[in-house]
Amino acid sequence: MTEQHHHITLQEGSIAKQTTTLNLGPTHPATHGVFQNIVELDGERIVSAESTVGYIHRAFEKLAERRPLYQITPITDRLNYCSSPINNMGWHMTCEKLLGVQTPKRVDYLRIIIMELARIADHLICNSIVGVDSGAYTGFLYVMQYRELIYEIYEEVCGSRLTTNIGRIGGFERNFSNTAFEKLEKFLKEYPEVLKEFENLFTRNRIFMDRTIATGAISAERALNYGFTGPNLRAAGVDYDVRVHSPYCSYEEFDFTVPTGTTGDNYDRFLVRNAEMWESLSIIEQAYRKIQSLKGEAAEVYHAEVPEYYLPKKEDVYTKMEALIWHFKIIMGETAIPAGEVYHAVEGANGELGFYLISDGGRTPYRLHFRRPCFVYYQAYEEIVKGAMLSDAIITMSSLNLIAGEMDA
């Protein structure tokens, strides 16, 4: 048998480069969203990484300059689309701050229920995806049907599931139906078991621990300098939570702890998110009890009495002059908006979600800027993964909960 050698003629100097360039994204199974990482590899170790974002930039800030306040809510849906209701509520509260609208207690509690459900849905996705990226698909598939229960509650309240456009300036578009509360009770009853089982799958799982402990770590100091907020900052040991530091929506009445980690690694981020889900459950239960204890008119109200900003009921629009006038004025943007500058922050699932709104008294914002937590902390990724194994960098990406919609705005 004759020996056959196929020689490839290499260009001179072409093997001078000792490292490999690998392109992760913009569409890659590891990125779970549209963004890109170009990593320089020495074997399996990352020498350097460069992150690129902007593939789904939709010019929301520019769009917002041409929309009346109430039309901006659907835009906010599309920031962190895993927890749209928090974005919606944050936006309503920003407007309410500008307009000086006081919401009734029941509205605050209902909002808290929705926001905490959204937080659970978001953390559930993030943590189960960390599982997927470390090779454990089961948890992800298992919890999906319980996220579905949350989405059914959204659906009952506002009619949609992912991009919710839930609530209005001043409250909710309609009262919660009995079905909504039944679905909530079902969730509160069934979910603790599920979360416990989910934790059993991962928390003390030898393989999972080996993959996540001491990988993707960031120190508290660096995390603060990089503008980290939310679970990722708390995992590094800083107990900053907007709900506690600058309470909004009556969060000051609620009893909950702020879970923190110590090392800021992938495992701590996982644990902090899990612990936060338990806290959110407790907050929802407290809010539900508070709602049940309300009496008389306060037990039925679902929006503030602000006819200038809150759309009247459709049946009133068709039968009452006053309601018809307000309906037109709101839709045509004829209501007076005060001039002013407002910064309002809420604790989004990824951290401090801020709205910087400048109004010049026109019908639309003069300038609106979203402080997106994901965008701010993703820039630390290059530093975190430098020197790490490629497979650890993948888990780091999912445990930071990078949401392309929130990065690009």
Partner 1 sequence: MSLTNEIVQQKLQEKFGDQLTGFETPYGMLSFEAPKEMNLKVLQFLYDEPALGYQFLTDITAVHYPEQVGRELAVVYHLHNLRENHRIRFKVFTSVANTDVFTATKIFSSANWMERETYDFFGINFVGHPNLKRILNVDEMDYFPMRKEFPLEDQTRVDKDDEMFGRGGSII
Query: Which residues bind to partner 1, rule: CB under 8 A?
Result: 53-54, 57, 59, 61-63, 65-66, 97-98, 222, 224-227, 238, 240, 245-246, 333, 340-343, 345, 352, 354, 356, 358, 360-364, 366-367, 369, 371, 375-380, 383, 408-409
Shortest gap between Cβ of 341 and partner 1 (angstroms)?
A: 5
Stated length of the chain: 409
Our CB check for partner 1 shows the closer of 121 and 380 to be: 380
Our CB check for partner 1 shows the closer of 191 and 375 to be: 375
Give which of 87, 86, 82 is closest to 33, Cα–Cα: 82
Residue 80 DSSP label? S
The backbone torsions φ and ψ at residue 383, rounded to the nearest 5 degrees and listed phi first, read: -75, -40
Q: What is d(CA 112, CA 274) in angstroms, rounded to the nearest whole number?
A: 19
Shortest gap between Cβ of 45 and partner 1 (angstroms)?
A: 23
Shortest gap between Cβ of 344 and partner 1 (angstroms)?
A: 8
Shortest gap between Cβ of 354 and partner 1 (angstroms)?
A: 6
Our CB check for partner 1 shows the closer of 20 and 379 to be: 379
Task: Give the contacts of 349 (CB within 8 A, at least 6 positions apart).
Answer: 80, 82, 83, 86, 118, 119, 122, 123, 126, 230, 231, 401
Our CB check for partner 1 shows the closer of 73 and 134 to be: 73
Task: Give the contacts of 120 (CB within 8 A, at least 6 positions apart).
Answer: 150, 191, 277, 280, 281
Cβ pair 363, 19 in contact under 8 A: no
Shortest gap between Cβ of 208 and partner 1 (angstroms)?
A: 30
Our CB check for partner 1 shows the closer of 86 and 342 to be: 342
Shortest gap between Cβ of 376 and partner 1 (angstroms)?
A: 6
Our CB check for partner 1 shows the closer of 89 and 238 to be: 238
| Sequence-ordered alpha helix ranges (H) in 203-345 | 206-212, 220-225, 230-235, 242-245, 266-293, 314-319, 321-331
Our CB check for partner 1 shows the closer of 20 and 102 to be: 102
Shortest gap between Cβ of 227 and partner 1 (angstroms)?
A: 3
Our CB check for partner 1 shows the closer of 169 and 345 to be: 345
Give which of 264, 279, 257 is closest to 234, Cα–Cα: 264
Our CB check for partner 1 shows the closer of 278 and 356 to be: 356
Q: Give me the residues paired with residue 159 across strands.
A: none
Helix (H) or strand (E) holding 355: strand 351-359
Shortest gap between Cβ of 334 and partner 1 (angstroms)?
A: 8
CA atoms 63, 68, 69, 70: torsion sign: negative
Find the angle CA(255)-CA(261)-CA(266) to the nearest 5 degrees. 125
Q: What is d(CA 370, CA 300) in angstroms, rounded to the nearest whole number?
A: 33
Cβ pair 131, 201 in contact under 8 A: yes
Shortest gap between Cβ of 366 and partner 1 (angstroms)?
A: 8
